[in-house]
Amino acid sequence: MRRIKFTEDHEWLLPDEDGNVTVGITDYAQEQLGDIVFIELPEVGSEIITGDEAAVVESVKAAGDIRAPLNGTVCEINDALVDAPEKVNKDPMGEGWFFKITPNNPEDIDALMDEDAYWEYVSGL
């Protein structure tokens, strides 16, 4: 069973049994952004490339990009966030998920940080 992984951009990635990967932002990221008031999600079916802008997040005080953490195709988006972006503040690791990717190469995720490594990374910031 695969475990949750993290990027240095404070995204979390959770692979499911189908091989799709759910992507969201961490509690640290939502805390830093503050109250989120706008989210723009990618289109289902769009191809994304690691490092490109995949979604836009605007908080009361700042704008931020969500960069694609893997190469792949967007297979599902969390439409509920468009009308209720505050879900990301309230439950970033649950109801506040952003989108799911079908990765081109499922092994790519192995190179990302595990939970311990991410906490170490965050505590060094």
Q: Is 105 in the site for another protein (CB under 8 A)?
A: no
Q: Answer whether 30's CB lies under 8 Å from 96's CB.
A: yes
Q: Is 4 in the site for another protein (CB under 8 A)?
A: no
- How far apart, in whole angstroms, are the C-alpha atoms of residue 109 and residue 4? 9
- How far apart, in whole angstroms, are the C-alpha atoms of residue 21 and residue 106? 9
**What is residue 109's three-state secondary structure?**
helix
Instruction: Please list every residue from 81 through 100 that binds another protein, using CB under 8 A.
Output: 82, 89
| Residue indicated by tokens 């990765």 | 103
Q: Is 117 in the site for another protein (CB under 8 A)?
A: no
Q: How near is the Cβ of 61 to another protein at its closest, in Å? A: 5
Contacts with another protein, residue ranges (CB under 8 A): 34-35, 37-38, 40, 53, 56, 58, 60-61, 63, 82, 89
